[in-house]
Structure 1
Amino acid sequence: MFARKRPAGSFTIFGFITAVLVLIADQASKFWILNGLDLDGRDPQQVEVLAPWFNLSMVWNHGVSFGMFQADTPAQRYLLAGVSLAIAGVLVVWMFQTTRRLQALAFGLIIGGAIGNVIDRFLYGAVVDFLDFSGLYFPYVFNVADAGICVGVAVLVLDLVLNGDR
C-alpha cells in the first residue's frame, strides 16, 4: 500500500547503517555520562537539564527493560546477554530478507540498541541508564539503546499497520 516492494535484502545496508549509528550514539553517550559528567552511580546523582521534566540521573540497571528480571550473578548476566544477542541475530536474518525500508529501519534500531546494552553487560556487569523523564510522570530511567529498541518496535508495528497486506 505505502511501500514499493523491492527484492529481498534491498534495504539491508540501510538497516546495518542504522544499527551502527544507534550503537555509536549509545556507547558515546554512556562514555560521556561515565567519564565526562562524573556520575558514577554510587549515590543518587543528578544533573538538572530541564528541571523538573528532564534530568540526567546515573543508574545501574542489572535487569532488562524497566529493571525487570534482575541479573545479580555473572551467569544471569551472560544469560541476558545471550538472549539479547540471539534476538539480534534473528533480526539480522530478517533484515536480509526485508523488502521494505521501514522494516529495515526498525530492525536496525532494535539491533543497535540490543548490542549497545550487551556491551554494557560485558563491560560493567549492568546497563548504564541516565535519561530521566520522571518529571513527566515517566518513572523509569533509560538510555539511547533502550530508546532505539522502543522506537524500533513502534516503527515495526507502524510498518505492519501500513503494509499489513504483505
Structure 2
Amino acid sequence: MTNVTEQPSGLRWLWLALLVFVLDIGTKLLVMNNMEYGPANRIELLPFFNLTYVHNPGAAFSFLSDAGGWQRWFFSATAIIVSCVLVYWMSKTPARQRLVNAAYALIIGGAIGNLFDRLVHGYVIDFLDFFWGTNHWPAFNLADSAILIGAGFILLDSFRSGNTESKGSN
C-alpha cells in the first residue's frame, strides 16, 4: 500500500472570487443607494477621478454598450462558460501556484459580479470614472478591475513560465 498525498488544488483560492463578488456587489449597492443616476451627478474626488452612477448594457469599459440588446445574453453566457472553465482549471492547478490561481479567482469573481447585474438589472452598474482633461475613460466597476488585473496576472505568469522553461532547456 502506497501513501500518496494529493496536493491541494487551486480551488482553495475560490475564497478570493467570493471576496471580489461581495465587494463588487457591495460597492454597487452603495452607489445605487447613495448617488443620483447619470454622469451629470458625479462626485469629484481627484483632478483625474470622479464617482458617477451609470448603467452599462455592454461589457467591461462599455464594450458593445450600444448594441441592440443581444449582448446581455451573450455576455451572460460568456461569463458562465468562462467561470466554469476557470473553476475546472483551478481544480487541476496546484494551490501553490498562487499567481495563476489568484488570476482565475479574480476573473471568476468579476465575471460573476457583472453576471449578477445583468441578470438582476439587465445592465451592469458602473461608477469609477477616470479622465485626463476632457477625455474620459468609459466608467467601470470593481468587477471590471478584477477581470483586468486577473488577465494581467495570467500574462505575467505566462512570461514567468516562459522564462523558467527557457532556463531549463539550456
Aligned ranges 1:1-166 → 2 under 5 Å: 9-14=8-13, 16-35=14-33, 37-41=34-38, 44-50=40-46, 52-70=47-65, 71-73=67-69, 75-99=70-94, 100-135=97-132, 139-164=137-162, 165=165
Shift of 1:78: 2.0
8 Å contact from structure 2 (residues 51, 127) kept in 1: yes
Output the CA distance in 1 between the equivalents of 2:103 and 2:23: 16
Shift of 1:8: 6.2
Structure 2 residue runs of 5 or longer lacking an equivalent are 1-5
Shift of 1:163: 1.8
Q: Root-mean-square deviation (CA), in Å? A: 2.0
Q: Which has the larger radius of gyration?
A: 2
Output the CA distance in 1 between the equivalents of 2:91 and 2:58: 30
8 Å contact from structure 1 (residues 54, 134) kept in 2: yes
Residues 1:82 and 1:149: Cα distance change in structure 2 (over 3 Å)? same
Q: Given the two structures, how large is their TM-score scaled by the length of structure 2?
A: 0.83
How many residues end up aligned between the 2 structures?
155
Output the CA distance in 2 between the equivalents of 1:125 and 1:110: 21
Residues 1:121 and 1:40: Cα distance change in structure 2 (over 3 Å)? same
Percent sequence identity over aligned pairs: 37
Structure 1 residue runs of 5 or longer lacking an equivalent are 1-6
Which range moved further: 62-71 or 122-131?
A: 62-71
Which range moved further: 93-102 or 112-121?
A: 93-102
Residues 1:115 and 1:161: Cα distance change in structure 2 (over 3 Å)? same
8 Å contact from structure 2 (residues 64, 71) kept in 1: no
Question: What code does the residue aligned with 2:59 have?
Answer: V
Q: Which runs of 4+ in 1 moved over 4 A?
A: none
Note the alpha carbon deviations across 1:66-88, whole angstroms, 9 max, x for none.
Answer: 22223543x54122201111111
